[in-house]
Amino acid sequence: FRARDYRAVLSVLDEHAAAFPDASLAPEAAALGIDALCALGDQHAAHARIQEFLQRWPRSPSAARLRSGCATLSNDTNHKTNK
């Protein structure tokens, strides 16, 4: 995220998800992928992944922030990358 190469982030996370779909860190990786889509401005794809995320991991600690959509996520991502 620091380099703001969100497409590369998505590629790595998608590869990880395909290789390890049931990994213990899968929800966190999925949330990062959603953050990257929001940062790219792809709200349609982000919304679809948010819905999938909430169906699969409704009790995840990331679920509450994902429910608020890209506007909040983009602000969080920009704040994190500017540190």
For the stretch 40-61, pLDDT in tens is: 999 999 999 999 999 999 999 9
Question: What pLDDT score was predicted for residue 75?
Answer: 56
Length, in residues, of the chain: 83
Query: Please, are residues 49 and 37 in contact by the beta-carbon 8 Å criterion?
Result: yes
Say how far apart CA 1 and CA 41 lie, in whole Å: 15
Question: What pLDDT score was predicted for residue 1?
Answer: 57
Structure tokens at 74: 């983009």
Question: What pLDDT score was predicted for residue 42?
Answer: 95
Question: What pLDDT score was predicted for residue 11?
Answer: 95
Say how far apart CA 57 and CA 52 lie, in whole Å: 8
Q: How far apart are the first and last CA of the chain?
A: 11
Q: Which residues, given as ranges, of the chain have pLDDT below 50?
A: 77-83
- The structure tokens 């500017």 sit at 82
Question: What pLDDT score was predicted for residue 83?
Answer: 38
Question: What pLDDT score was predicted for residue 82?
Answer: 42
Question: What pLDDT score was predicted for residue 79?
Answer: 44
Question: What pLDDT score was predicted for residue 58?
Answer: 96
Taking the mean position of all CA atoms in its chain, how far away is CA 48?
11
DSSP symbol at 24: T
